[in-house]
Amino acid sequence: GQNIDQPTEMTATEGAIVQINCTYQTSGFNGLFWYQQHAGEAPTFLSYNVLDGLEEKGRFSSFLSRSKGYSYLLLKELQMKDSASYLCAVRVSGDDKIIFGKGTRLHILP
């Protein structure tokens, strides 16, 4: 079966840095996604990693280790608007599907 694990909730302070981890065990692998989802809204694309390593995009960075089945999303200089759920998702090779984890609800404190 397919399994994607990430923490249910995390809390961090405005201006700080937070790392959200994701581990996966899937029948195949063809890329890992991170999305941000605010309550009542659709997910917004943040990053897409296919190869090992770190990809940086402004305040957000995403890391992938395929051998370990592990990824993390790093958020720097946290702002109140970063309070949201962060979804880790894996594209399972062969059928093009993307399977989602249950998401991590991030709370930002002033």
Partner 1 sequence: GAVVSQHPSWVICKSGTSVKIECRSLDFQATTMFWYRQFPKQSLMLMATSNEGSKATYEQGVEKDKFLINHASLTLSTLTVTSAHPEDSSFYICSARDHQKGEQFFGPGTRLTVL
74/98 with CB nearer partner 1 = 98
41/77 with CB nearer partner 1 = 41
CA 100 to CA 105: how far, in whole Å?
Answer: 14
Q: Which residues contact 105 (CB under 8 A, 6 or more apart)?
A: 8, 9, 10, 84, 85
Q: Which residues contact 29 (CB under 8 A, 6 or more apart)?
A: 66, 90, 91, 92, 93
Beta carbon of residue 106, minimum distance to partner 1 (angstroms, whole number): 15
Beta carbon of residue 102, minimum distance to partner 1 (angstroms, whole number): 5
10/99 with CB nearer partner 1 = 99
Residue with tokens 């089945």: 69
Beta carbon of residue 99, minimum distance to partner 1 (angstroms, whole number): 7
Beta carbon of residue 15, minimum distance to partner 1 (angstroms, whole number): 26
- By three-state DSSP, how is residue 65 classified? strand
Q: Which residues form the interface with partner 1 (CB under 8 A)?
A: 31, 33, 35, 41-45, 48, 50, 87, 91, 95-103
